Amino acid sequence: VIKSPIVIGGVPTMSSSSSAKAPSSSSAKRKLAARVDTSPLPSSVVGASSSSTTSSSKPTPLSSADVVSSSSSSSTGSTNISPPRTPPVISSEVGSTVDPKNTDSGIDAGVMTAQGEAKRQRSSSFSRRQPEGAGVSVGSGGARRDNVGAPCPAVPIMSDEERLEAMKGACKTILNCIGEDPNREGLFKTPKRWAEALLFLTKGYTQTVEDVTNDAVFEEGMGAAEDMVVVRDIDIHSLCEHHMVPFTGKVHVGYIPKKKVLGISKIARIAEVFSRRLQVQERLTREIAGSIMQAIDPLGVAVVVECSHMCMVMRGVQKVGSNTVTSSVLGCFQTDSKTRAEFFSIVNGNAYTRR
């Protein structure tokens, strides 16, 4: 005689008399499922049934759901419970979600962070600029360089022929825009002439102070001499960078040597290097003074520039005869008022007597 089922170790079994054999598990399941009450049990009853032991004397009715769960548990021998999933990592570098457990996809949080760092370095590299006052030139192949030869990566490298052709095309466009015919006889060769002229007027971009001094720096062993060297009335011609029209005038340069002297003609060549660029007069004055200070390390340098700007004469306010005067004094010319006064007196053509 088969009696009510009893749960032992999570597996339903049948109690029988000592003289009868226990039926097979499959037949027991079928018979048990036919006799089980299918109505849901209260949670208190379910909890009591799961906590019963083999010594229980009173069997507890089971629902069909409990029977199925117990059967699957008995067939596998254990219950697989998935651990909670590790929360994903949000990469602050690129704003993407990275799963540290996802090794199959080949995505690593460290890789994503490295990519973000590389992106930031690339963006910062495009914002680099040359400091104001640093002479920037175009070396061989058209690459812009400063006076120490450091390349400026933002400027494309072009050959002389490529630059000339590009400038000729730009000039033809300008002629068309102002209503002219670039193919008429008087203008047919104008784009080429204009391009060659502009390259000459801006040839300072292809030169450095080291190039033009040509080792014309001499050791004189003069020590802290008080003898002033002044070169006056050096003609310069430059282009205003705001309107690309000329401004012309004169430069006056004075310095007091320490141990080295500079060839007289090299002072004029240094002024030419910086004036043959797109300029503003204030920066031009500082660049001439700073380059001489760097070349021979004198006790002091003073520079005065006087120019007439065509952007004020030919256009705009159209004030003919106006001149702009700028000065830059370094070293002892800046700290010693008497030395500074002597220089300005010589520049102005007045006799100066030392006291």
User: CA–CA separation, 56 vs 8, rounded Å?
Assistant: 9
**Which residue among the candidates 162, 220, 242, 282 is catalytic per the annotation?**
242
Buried residues in 65-88 as b, exposed as e (16+ CB within 10 A): ebbeebbeeeeeeeeeeeeeeeee
Known catalytic membership, residue 242: yes
How does DSSP assign 278-301, residue by residue? EE-HHHHHHHHHHHHHHHH--SEE
Known catalytic membership, residue 307: no
Known catalytic membership, residue 237: no
**Which residue among the candidates 93, 115, 152, 243 is catalytic per the annotation?**
243
**Which residue among the candidates 171, 252, 306, 309 is catalytic per the annotation?**
309
Taking the CA atoms of residue 152, residue 271, residue 303 and residue 210 in that order, the dihedral angle to the nearest 10 degrees is 60
- Is the Cβ–Cβ distance between 240 and 311 less than 8 Å? yes
**Residue 162 phi/psi, 5° resolution?**
-65, -40
* Integer angstrom CA distances of residue 249 from 132, 133, 312, 322, 323: 23, 20, 14, 11, 9
Known catalytic membership, residue 240: yes
User: CA–CA separation, 279 vs 246, rounded Å?
Assistant: 10
Q: How many helices (H) and strands (E) does the chain have?
A: 12, 13
Q: For the chain, give percent helix, strand, coil, nearest 5.
A: 40, 20, 40
- Is the Cβ–Cβ distance between 90 and 97 less than 8 Å? yes
Known catalytic membership, residue 311: yes
User: CA–CA separation, 352 vs 334, rounded Å?
Assistant: 19
How does DSSP assign 205-228, residue by residue? GG--HHHHHTT-EEE----S----
**Which residue among the candidates 241, 306, 318, 334 is catalytic per the annotation?**
241
Give Cα 121 to chain centroid, integer Å. Answer: 6
**Which residue among the candidates 281, 287, 306, 332 is catalytic per the annotation?**
281
**Which residue among the candidates 240, 252, 287, 306 is catalytic per the annotation?**
240
Where in the sequence numbering do the catalytic residues fall? 240-243, 281, 309, 311
